[in-house]
């Protein structure tokens, strides 16, 4: 990327991804059941080599991948992103044995990964999590393992994932300093879950841990360093959440341009009305600004810049808030037709709301930005 403009090869690749999403992945998504893991869709993402790109791409390429897929098939984009989110801690902090066992299956779309951080009382305040990891033998420091007890909530891909990256309180220190990350296979005794019926169509559920056994072989990183594992993952994926939002905004904008250029009203077409033209201009300008900020944040991550947390937070904040604005106004300009089940904008209207909350709500992003500015 040169001066915020994509190169010809990047533009061509994005175009190919948009076509692939519409032609190959959209039909598979349509056959899936809302709120359930779509394994045929995941398998297709693996066969096409797209899941592999999640683990071998830099932040900018990941953003282009997510934005392009979101434009044509949000379900495919989300399925791909959740594989990356759940398995990235294994890639970065897992043991050679963990990586050898799980990552090939994730990349092929055979194993479903999940990132289990949020809890009923610890959503945006991730350092407040309460899932407890007690040493076997009543908490003796010499114990060989732990027992996990508590609950996780609003976990994407739960309860159908094949393994979970779980963050639990082991107590080495207060707040974030006492959190440890574990890789927990779904078949561990004491682990159960149930799906939640949510506004957005992708699978989300609750997990219950009733003395689930984990040992040193299940650690992701070192005890007490789990919060660092979580933040390492979120700093990479926050700009690409913004890219997902930009993809939805661009799809809504293009649909609006086509509709207002053709829809006849008041002796002409809607696009001839100054109020409509000005609103579309605002939608386009905000979308472009969000896109550029996302690319800049991704570029900073790839360059190893020190200001990645601030840039990532800015990118996610602006892009998700912008997408909400654009989709809402797109629905307004389409009128009642956009409220029908199955319409693109009805689908985007349900999809666009959640990204302003997950991986740190907009208010949390503002807090991160302010702290970084005053640092």
Q: Which residues are the active-site residues? A: 359
159 preceded by a cis bond (ω within 30 of 0): yes
Q: Is residue 181 helix, strand or coil? A: strand
β-sheet bridge partners, residue 182:
166, 219
Cβ atoms 349, 340 nearer than 8 A: no
Cα(1)–Cα(260) distance, integer angstroms: 33
What ranges make up the beta strands (E) of 136-176? 146-156, 163-169
Residues in CB range of 35: below 8 A, 6 or more apart: 195, 197, 198, 201, 202, 203, 204
Q: Compute the Cα dihedral for 227, 229, 231, 234 and give only its sign.
A: negative
Cα(127)–Cα(115) distance, integer angstroms: 15
Residue 179 φ then ψ, to 5°: -110, 135
Cα(205)–Cα(274) distance, integer angstroms: 46
Closest CA to 127 of 228, 208, 212, 215: 228
Cα(50)–Cα(17) distance, integer angstroms: 10
User: Count of CB atoms within 10 A of residue 164's CB?
Assistant: 28
Cα(261)–Cα(297) distance, integer angstroms: 34
CA angle 9/11/13 to nearest 5° reads 70
Q: Is residue 317 helix, strand or coil? A: helix
């Amino acid at each position: 990327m040169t001066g915020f403009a994509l190169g010809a090869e990047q533009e061509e690749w994005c175009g190919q991804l948009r076509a692939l999403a519409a032609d190959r992945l959209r039909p598979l998504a349509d056959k899936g059941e809302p709120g359930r893991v779509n394994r045929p869709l995941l398998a297709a993402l693996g066969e096409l080599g797209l899941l592999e790109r999640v683990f071998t791409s830099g932040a900018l390429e990941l953003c282009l991948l997510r934005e392009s897929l979101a434009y044509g098939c949000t379900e495919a984009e989300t399925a791909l992103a959740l594989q990356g989110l759940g398995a990235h801690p294994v890639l970065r902090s897992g043991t050679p044995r963990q990586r050898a066992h799980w990552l090939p299956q994730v990349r092929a779309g055979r194993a479903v990964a999940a990132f289990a951080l949020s809890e009923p009382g610890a959503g945006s305040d991730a350092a407040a999590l309460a899932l407890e990891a007690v040493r076997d033998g009543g908490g003796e420091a010499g114990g060989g393992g732990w027992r996990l007890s508590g609950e996780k909530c609003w976990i994407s891909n739960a309860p159908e994932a094949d393994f979970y990256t779980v963050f639990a309180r082991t107590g080495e220190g207060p707040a974030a300093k006492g959190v440890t990350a574990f890789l927990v296979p779904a078949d561990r005794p004491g682990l159960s879950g149930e799906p939640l019926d949510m506004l957005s169509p992708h699978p989300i559920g609750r997990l219950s841990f009733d003395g689930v056994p984990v040992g040193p072989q299940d650690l992701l990183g070192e005890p007490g360093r789990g919060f660092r594992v979580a933040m390492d993952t979120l700093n990479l994926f926050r700009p690409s959440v913004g890219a997902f939002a930009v993809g939805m905004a661009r799809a809504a904008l293009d649909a609006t341009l086509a509709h207002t250029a053709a829809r006849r009203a008041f002796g002409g077409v809607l696009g001839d009305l100054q109020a409509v033209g000005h609103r579309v201009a605002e939608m386009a300008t905000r979308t472009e600004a969000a896109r550029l900020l996302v690319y800049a944040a991704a570029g900073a991550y790839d360059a190893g810049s020190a200001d990645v947390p601030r840039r990532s937070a800015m990118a996610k904040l602006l892009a998700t808030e912008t997408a909400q604005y654009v989709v809402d106004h797109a629905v307004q300009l389409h009128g009642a037709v956009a409220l029908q089940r199955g319409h693109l904008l009805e689908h985007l209207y349900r999809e666009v709301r959640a990204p302003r909350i997950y991986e740190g709500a907009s208010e949390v992003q503002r807090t991160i930005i302010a702290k970084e500015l005053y640092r």
